[in-house]
Each structure stands twice: as C-alpha cells, then as structure tokens.
Structure 1
Amino acid sequence: MTAVSLMDWRDSKHWSETPKPCVLCDTPTHLRSERGKPVHKVCAEDWNDTRTTPDQTAAKRRRN
C-alpha cells in the first residue's frame, strides 16, 4: 500500500456554494483548489502524488 500525502483544505476558501465539474473526474464538486479550480480533495491528492517523486514527498513530510 502506498502512502498518500493529505492536503489541508479546512480553510473556507476551498468551499463554494456553486458546484462545478471537477477538472480531474468531471463529477460535480463544491471544493476548490488553491488556484480556485473545481476539484475534489481526493482527486487533487491523487493527482499530486502521481506527479511528485518519492524524494519530494519525503522532503514535504520532514517539513511538516
């Protein structure tokens, strides 16, 4: 089993009253990325993990 890095989306800026299609899976979501794009948290975490190297992931964990 592979560890997935979790993102902190507790801030209200990640919520929108208007659902829009997720940019990754195309199903509706109220969530927004840091850049304001509609995306599910799970979709964003998966996308992020598939595009970072193990060294980058380990470095992130050490900083947190």
Structure 2
Amino acid sequence: MPIDLEVGGVYLPPIAQALLLALPIFLLLDWTLRRLGVLGFVWHEALFEGALYACVCATLILLMGA
C-alpha cells in the first residue's frame, strides 16, 4: 500500500506522487513522439497529449498499488 510522502513539511498523498512522477515520463514520451514525427498523424495534438498524460498517470497509479 502506498504511503504519504513528506516533502518539506508538506504531506503528498499517493495520487500527487503519481502526478509528479508522471510529468518527466510524459515529457520524455512527448519529446520522443515529436522526434519520430508521430504527432503529425494526430488530429488534435493537445487532446492527444492530455490523454497520453492521463494514461501515464493511470499506469503509475496501478503500479503503485501493486
């Protein structure tokens, strides 16, 4: 079971930890997809990026629960 993390006297619940950890993973994926030209085939780029971030967050939350 994930535990709360204390950072500078502020407690971060597991969901906040997943959201913060997902950000660099998302940025790396986004950079990679841009370099490969995959985002050129996407209809709505901002919508795709939001969905990608949500998928990364959901994956991390599932992995943290295991």
Q: What is the TM-score when the length of structure 2 is the normalising length? A: 0.34
Q: Which has the higher contact order (CA 8 A, sep 6+)?
A: 2
Q: What is the TM-score when the length of structure 1 is the normalising length? A: 0.34
User: Which one has a bigger Cα radius of gyration?
Assistant: 2
Higher strand proportion, which one? 1
